[in-house]
Amino acid sequence: MTEPEKPSTSYRKILIVEDEEIIRNTLGEFLTGEGFQVTQAGTVDEGLKAAKDQDFHVAICDIQLPDGDGIKLMKQMHRLNPSLFVLIITAYGTVESAVDAFTRGAFDYLTKPVIFDDLAHKLKRVFEYRDLYLENQKLRLELAQPNRFDQIVGSSEPLKQLQDTISKIAVTNSNVLLVGETGTGKELFARAIHSAGPMKEEKFLAVNCGSRPVEMLEAELFGSDSPGNTQPGILRTSGKGTVFLDEIARLPMGTQTKLLRAIEYEESMPVGGSEPYEVQCRIITSSSEDLLRLVGEETFQEDLFYRLDGVKIRIPPLRERLDDIPELVDHFIAKHSKSLRKRVVSATSETIRLLMAAQWKGNVRQLDNAIERAVIMCDGTSIEPSDLPPDLLGLGQPLPDTDDLRSALRHYERLHITRVLRQWPDKREAAKRLKLGLSSLYRKIEELNIELG
Ligand SMILES: Nc1ncnc2c1ncn2[C@@H]1O[C@H](COP(=O)(O)OP(=O)(O)OP(=O)(O)O)[C@@H](O)[C@H]1O
C-alpha cells in the first residue's frame, strides 16, 4: 500500500496582520494563489481575535499597527499557540527593529516593499523548519513515555486479567470498544492497546465525540473539501495508526452512519468532497453508557453497535479492584509531590483503609484528584486521614470527633459495613463476606444508621 500523501499547502493556514489595505490584499491574493488558507486582519485586536478563533501555522505581521505594535502581538499570539511561526514585516532599512523581532521570537523578517520571491522563499523555509520541529516534538514526547503499558498501575486480579486480554487483542490490530465508567482509564487503555499493537510507530489520535458541533466534528473526523474549510480529517492523517473515539454514544446519528461506512468499507469521503479515500487506521471507541440501551432508545445505530460490540473490553470500576488502591496511591503521591515540589512520600495505613472504604464514583481520576489535594494539605511526609477531602466517604467527617474507644469502633464499624455493602449490594453476599448472619446485618444497618444505595 502507498504511504499517505503529504498534505498540500491548502492545509497550511496563514494569518496576515497588516493595516495598509493594499499591501494586505496583495499579499493575501499572492498567498491564496500559492494554495495557502489565508486570513487577514488590519489591527492588533483583529489579529488577536483571529488567533483565538483558530490555530494558524504562520503569522505575517507588520511591526507597526494602528492600535499597538506587531512584536507585542506576536508575544500574545505565542501564548495562545506556542508552535506559531511569525514573520515580521519591517520598514526598509530599519535593521534595529528586525534584530529586536528576532530576539523576541520571530522566525524571520520581511522588509517593505515585500518581494514575492523573497516571501515564497522564506515561507518554504518556515514550513520545512516547522515540519522538523513538530517531528522533533513528537519524538521527544515518545521518548518521555516509552510504553503506555508501563503507565498502567495496579496488580489486582481484575487488572491482571484486563492486561492479559489487552495484550492478546492489541496484536490483532482489530477495532476495539472499551466500556467502563468515567475515569476508569479508558483512554489510558486505548493508548496501551496502540502501544502494544503492530502499528505502534504510527500516530495515536484521540477525539472526544461530544465536544464540538456536528459540522466541526465531521470535518475533523472525515476531512473537509468545502470552500473555506479544507482539512484532511484524522481518519486520513492517522495513516495506519490508531484513532481513539472517546464517548462514541455522543456521536450524532448521521455521523454514526458515516463512521459505520468508514469501518465497513474502509473508506470515507471528506465533507463537501467527491473523492473517497482509503481508511487504514485502527479505530478504538469508548463508552461510559450502555450502548445496547441506547439502541433500544433509538439514539444509537443498531448496525454500528453490533459492529463495535464484536471486540469489547470492559474496564472494571475502581470499587471492583480495591486492591489497586495502595499502588495507585503511591503512584499519585509520587506524581503530585514532584509537580507540587513537596516532600510527601507515603500515606498512613489508616489513610489507605479510609481510601479503600470510599465509593469512587469518579474512579481512578477521582482518586488522582483526592491525592493531589491531600499532597497539598499534607504538612509532613505521610498523608494523614485529615488531609483527605472531607466529603470523600460521603459520611461526613472521616474521623470520629471523640477519643472514646467505643464511639471510634462504632465509627469504623459503620465505615466498614458501608464499604462492603457498596461493593456487594446483595445483602446475603455482604453478610457472608462480613461473616455475619443476615438478620444481624439488618440490625447493624439500622443501629448504625447506614444509608443504602
Ligand atoms: N491503572 C491506572 N494507572 C495509572 N493511572 C491511571 C490508571 N487508570 C486511570 N489512570 C489515570 O486516571 C485518569 C483518568 O483516566 P482516563 O482519562 O484514561 O479515563 P477515561 O475512562 O477515559 O475517562 P472518561 O470516561 O471521563 O473520558 C488519567 O489521568 C489516567 O492517567
Going by alpha carbons, the residue nearest to atom 13 of ligand 1 is 365
Same domain, 325 and 290: no
Same domain, 388 and 416: no
Same domain, 292 and 163: yes
In a domain, 108, yes or no: yes
How many domains is the chain partitioned into structurally?
Answer: 4
Instruction: Say how far apart CA 41 and CA 419 lie, in whole Å.
Output: 60
Same domain, 354 and 213: no
Q: What is the pLDDT of residues 191-230, one digit of tens each?
A: 999 998 888 889 999 999 987 889 989 999 999 998 888 8
Residues with CB under 6 A from ligand 1: 151-154, 180, 182-188, 246, 288, 331, 364-365, 368
pLDDT of residue 6: 41
* Among 177, 290, 361, 365, residue to substitute to test ligand 1 (most atoms within 8 Å of Cβ): 365
Number of H helices, E strands in the chain: 18, 18
Q: Average pLDDT, stretch 134-163?
A: 75
Same domain, 308 and 170: yes
Distance 326 CA to ligand 1 centre (A): 16
In a domain, 149, yes or no: no
Same domain, 173 and 185: yes
What CATH number has the domain bearing residue 27? 3.40.50.2300
Res. 148: pLDDT tops 50 = no
For the question of an ipTM over 0.95, the answer is yes
Instruction: Please provide the average confidence, as pLDDT, over all residues in the chain.
Output: 87
Q: Which of 116, 141, 166 is the last residue of a domain?
A: 141
Share of the chain above pLDDT 90, in %: 55
What is the Cα 34 distance to its own chain's centre? 34
Q: What nine digits make up the cell of 265? A: 468499507
Instruction: Say how far apart CA 201 and CA 239 lie, in whole Å.
Output: 11
Instruction: Say how far apart CA 430 and CA 442 lie, in whole Å.
Output: 11
Query: What phi-psi label fits residue 376: left (phi over 0), alpha (psi between -120 and 50 degrees) or beta?
Result: alpha
pLDDT of residue 91: 79
Q: What nine digits make up the cell of 238? A: 492517522
In a domain, 86, yes or no: yes
In a domain, 152, yes or no: no
In a domain, 187, yes or no: yes
Same domain, 195 and 302: yes
Same domain, 262 and 349: no
285's enclosing H/E stretch is strand 282-287
* Among 187, 191, 246, 320, residue to substitute to test ligand 1 (most atoms within 8 Å of Cβ): 187
Q: What is the pLDDT of residues 156-167, one digit of tens each?
A: 999 999 999 998
Q: Average pLDDT, stretch 237-250?
A: 94
pLDDT of residue 149: 62
Which range of residues forms the domain containing residue 437?
A: 400-453
In a domain, 3, yes or no: no
Distance 183 CA to ligand 1 centre (A): 5
Give phi and psi for 96, each to the nearest 5.
-55, -45
Q: Average pLDDT, stretch 71-77?
A: 88
Query: What phi-psi label fits residue 102: left (phi over 0), alpha (psi between -120 and 50 degrees) or beta?
Result: alpha
Q: What is the pLDDT of residues 269-302, one digit of tens each?
A: 999 988 899 999 999 999 999 999 999 999 999 9
Q: Average pLDDT, stretch 392-410?
A: 67
Same domain, 204 and 173: yes
CA nearest 112: which of 80, 130, 88, 133? 88
Same domain, 291 and 378: no
pLDDT of residue 3: 38
CA dihedral (112, 113, 115, 118) in degrees, to 10, reads -10
228 or 48: which leads in pLDDT: 48
Instruction: Say how far apart CA 233 and CA 223 lie, in whole Å.
Output: 3
In a domain, 153, yes or no: no
Same domain, 311 and 389: no
What CATH number has the domain bearing residue 362? 1.10.8.60
In a domain, 92, yes or no: yes
Same domain, 77 and 87: yes
Q: What nine digits make up the cell of 72? A: 507585542
Specify the pTM. Answer: 0.61
